[in-house]
C-alpha cells in the first residue's frame, strides 16, 4: 500500500443499471419511460439557443420552481430542485439526518439509501419488509434519527396508502420524514397534500420516469419553506449552479404540458395491468405493482436463467442479487409492442425449457 492510500476515503458505490448501446435492444432495466418527452420539450430545446449557454444559469432555478409551484398549487418557496432526485435525496440526507441516531429505511428498497448513509456517516437501520414485501409501518414508530422510504417502494412496486404514510408522520413529529415518490404518478395520491399539516415532511419526485426525462437529470422536493431554506443552504455550500439552463427550461416546458403527461401515464398504466395478466398466465408471481415496473419471480424457472436468456435476445431487465430478492426480475413497463415481444419470448422459452426440466427431473 502506498503511503497516501491511508488518507483516502473508501466507499462502496451504488451500482446503476446497465446502459447498453445496442440499436435494436428492448430496454426494460432502468425504469425509464418508453415514450419521448412532451413535444413542448423538443420545442423548448430548439428555442434555447447555444448563446444562452454562455451565461451561468439562474442559481435559484426560478423558471422551474415556479412551473412546479403552479402545477402542484404550492408556493415556489416550498420547492427545491436538483440534478435528478438522486441529487435532491443526497442533499436531504446531508441536511436533515444529523442527529447521530440511526435513520430508518426498509431492508428491501432503493439501494442508494445505505450508500448515502455510509458516505455521509449517518448511522442507519433497515427494518425488514413482511413476507409479502410490504413495509411494516409500526417498525417506524420507535425512536430514530429520521426516515426515508419510497412510495411506491422499489423494487417491489407496492404503494402505501396515504393514511398509513400519515400514521408514520404522526408518530415522528421530531424527525424529518422523506417520502421518495419517484414512481407516484403511476400509483395514487402524492404525500404533497400532507405538506401543510406536517412541517417535518419532505416529498421528493423526479422527471426521470413519468416525464420521460431521465437524461436531463431533474428532480425536486416539496416541503415547508423552512425545510427548503435549509436544503438551499446546503446546496449553496456545495455548488450554486446544480441545474443547467437547459434542464431548467426543458423541465418547465414538460411541466406545462399536462395533457401529454396524463396521456403517457394512462398508456403505461394500461400496459402494466395487461402485462400483469399475461405474466400471471405464464406462471409468474409478483407483488401488485403500482409503479412503472413489475417485480416478478417464476414458479419454476430461476430468475438468473431468465435474465441471461433475455439478455441473449437483447431484452434487458434488472436482476438484483441478495437475500429474498435474488429470484426476482424487475421488468420496466415499455410500449405495448415491447411488452408483446418480451411476453412472446418468455412464452416460448418457458414452454421449451419446462419440457426439458421435466425430462431431467425424471
Ligand atoms: N428513488 C428511487 C426509488 C428510484 O428508483 C430512483 C431511480 N433510480 C431514484 C430515486 C433516482 O432517480 P433520478 O435520480 O433519476 O431522479
Centroid of ligand 1 to alpha carbon of 314 (angstroms): 24
Using a cut of 0.95, tell me whether the model's pTM lies above it: yes
Query: Ligand 1 atom closest to Cα of 206?
Result: 16
- Report how far apart, in Å, the C-alpha atoms of 352 and of each of 356, 358, 359, 362 are: 7, 10, 11, 16
Centroid of ligand 1 to alpha carbon of 84 (angstroms): 7
Alpha carbons 139 and 128: distance in angstroms, whole number: 9
* Best residue for ligand 1 mutational test, from 15, 19, 85, 289 (most atoms within 8 Å of Cβ): 85
pLDDT digits (tens, 9 = 90+) for 3-53: 999 999 999 999 998 899 988 999 999 999 999 999 999 999 999 989 999
| pLDDT reported for residue 354 | 77
Centroid of ligand 1 to alpha carbon of 219 (angstroms): 9
| pLDDT reported for residue 23 | 86
- Report how far apart, in Å, the C-alpha atoms of 10 and of each of 6, 29, 93, 346 are: 10, 28, 19, 41
| pLDDT reported for residue 1 | 81
Centroid of ligand 1 to alpha carbon of 205 (angstroms): 8
Alpha carbons 305 and 303: distance in angstroms, whole number: 5
- For residue 188, what are the contacts with CB-CB under 8 A and spacing of at least 6? 159, 161, 162, 290
Centroid of ligand 1 to alpha carbon of 358 (angstroms): 41
Alpha carbons 190 and 178: distance in angstroms, whole number: 13
Instruction: List the residue whose alpha carbon is closest to atom 12 of ligand 1.
Output: 85
Cβ distance 239 to 110 under 8 Å?
A: no
- Nearest CA to 317 out of 158, 105, 48, 298 is that of 298
Centroid of ligand 1 to alpha carbon of 46 (angstroms): 27
Centroid of ligand 1 to alpha carbon of 178 (angstroms): 13
pLDDT digits (tens, 9 = 90+) for 315-349: 999 999 989 999 999 999 999 999 999 999 999 99
Three-state DSSP state, 287: coil
Centroid of ligand 1 to alpha carbon of 185 (angstroms): 13
| pLDDT reported for residue 332 | 98
**What lines the ligand 1 site, CB under 6 Å?**
84-86, 110, 150, 154, 180, 182, 206, 208, 214, 219
Query: Ligand 1 atom closest to Cα of 218?
Result: 16
* Best residue for ligand 1 mutational test, from 30, 37, 84, 113 (most atoms within 8 Å of Cβ): 84
Instruction: List the residue whose alpha carbon is closest to atom 1 of ligand 1.
Output: 182
Query: Ligand 1 atom closest to Cα of 110?
Result: 3
Instruction: List the residue whose alpha carbon is closest to atom 6 of ligand 1.
Output: 182
Q: Which residues of the chain have pLDDT under 50?
A: 362
Q: How far is CA 306 from the centre of its chain?
A: 24
Amino acid at each position: 500500500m502506498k503511503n497516501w492510500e491511508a488518507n483516502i476515503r473508501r466507499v462502496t458505490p451504488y451500482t446503476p443499471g446497465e446502459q447498453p448501446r445496442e440499436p435494436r435492444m428492448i430496454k426494460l432495466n432502468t425504469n425509464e419511460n418508453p415514450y419521448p418527452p412532451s413535444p413542448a420539450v423538443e420545442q423548448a430545446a430548439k428555442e434555447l439557443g447555444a448563446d444562452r449557454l454562455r451565461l451561468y444559469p439562474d442559481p435559484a432555478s426560478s423558471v422551474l420552481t415556479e412551473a412546479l409551484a403552479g402545477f402542484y398549487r404550492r408556493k415556489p418557496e416550498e420547492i427545491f430542485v436538483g440534478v435528478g432526485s438522486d441529487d435532491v435525496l443526497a442533499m436531504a440526507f446531508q441536511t436533515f439526518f444529523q442527529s447521530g441516531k440511526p435513520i430508518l429505511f426498509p431492508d428491501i428498497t432503493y439501494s442508494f439509501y445505505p450508500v448515502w448513509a455510509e458516505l455521509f456517516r449517518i448511522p442507519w437501520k433497515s427494518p425488514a419488509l413482511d413476507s409479502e414485501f410490504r413495509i411494516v409501518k409500526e417498525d417506524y414508530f420507535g425512536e430514530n434519527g429520521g426516515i426515508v422510504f419510497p412510495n411506491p417502494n422499489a423494487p417491489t412496486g407496492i404503494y402505501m396508502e396515504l393514511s398509513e404514510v400519515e400514521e408514520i408522520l404522526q408518530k415522528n413529529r421530531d424527525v424529518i420524514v422523506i417520502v421518495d415518490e419517484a414512481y407516484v404518478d403511476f400509483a395514487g395520491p402524492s404525500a404533497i397534500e400532507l405538506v401543510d399539516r406536517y412541517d417535518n415532511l419532505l416529498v421528493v419526485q423526479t422527471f426521470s420516469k413519468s416525464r420521460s426525462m431521465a437524461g436531463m437529470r431533474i428532480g425536486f422536493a416539496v416541503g415547508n419553506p423552512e425545510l427548503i431554506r435549509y436544503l438551499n443552504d446546503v446546496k449553496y455550500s456545495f455548488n450554486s449552479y446544480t441545474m443547467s439552463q437547459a434542464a431548467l427550461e426543458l423541465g418547465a416546458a414538460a411541466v406545462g404540458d399536462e395533457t401529454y403527461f396524463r396521456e403517457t401515464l394512462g398508456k403505461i398504466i394500461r400496459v402494466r395491468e395487461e402485462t400483469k395478466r399475461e405474466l400471471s398466465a405464464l406462471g409468474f408471481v409478483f407483488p401488485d405493482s403500482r409503479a412503472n415496473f413489475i417485480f416478478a419471480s417464476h414458479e419454476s424457472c430461476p430468475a438468473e436463467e431468465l435474465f441471461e436468456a433475455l439478455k441473449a435476445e437483447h431484452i434487458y431487465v434488472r436482476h438484483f442479487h441478495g437475500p429474498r430478492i435474488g429470484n426476482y426480475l424487475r421488468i420496466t413497463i415499455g410500449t405495448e409492442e415491447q411488452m408483446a415481444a418480451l411476453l412472446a419470448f418468455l412464452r416460448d422459452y418457458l414452454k421449451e425449457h419446462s419440457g426439458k426440466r421435466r425430462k431431467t427431473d425424471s
